Amino acid sequence: MADFLRERLGSGIVVLGMVGANRPFIAVTVTDDLVAKGYNAGEIIKQVSRIIGGGGGGKANFAQAGGKDKDKLDEALRLVKSLI
């Protein structure tokens, strides 16, 4: 879904969160033009994954993370706004 949205946007950052198997998951994707300007999905995911009690990683254009605290998912997603 993140890749689909990234392709449709043309330019942007997509952050998706979900709860599955009672655990939170987050995916971040960044379009190539914004990667060239210094935005990095891997760096974003490192910071937001801490809030959900987990970890993750990836590349500059796509990263994902899982965590332990599903109740903090909304807080983690709100943090993204201040990071970009």
Domain assignment present for 55: yes
Q: Is 69 helix (H, G, I), strand (E, B) or coil?
A: coil
Between β-strands 23-30 and 13-20, what pairing exists: parallel, antiparallel or unpaired? antiparallel
What pTM did the predictor assign?
A: 0.90
Which residue, 43, 39, 45, is CA-closest to 17? 45
- CATH number for the domain including 25? 3.10.310.40
Domain count, the chain: 1
If you average pLDDT over residues 61-81, what whole number do you get? 95
User: How far apart are alpha carbons 61 and 40 in whole angstroms?
Assistant: 6
Distance CA 74, CA 17 (A): 8
In a domain, 60, yes or no: yes
- The answer to whether 64 and 23 have CB atoms below 8 angstroms apart is no
Residue 35 resides in a domain: yes
Would residue 56 count as lying in a domain? Answer: yes
Give the pLDDT confidence of 31-64 residue by residue, as tens digits: 999 999 999 999 999 999 999 999 889 999 999 9
Structural domain harbouring 12: 2-71
Structural domain contains residue 16: yes
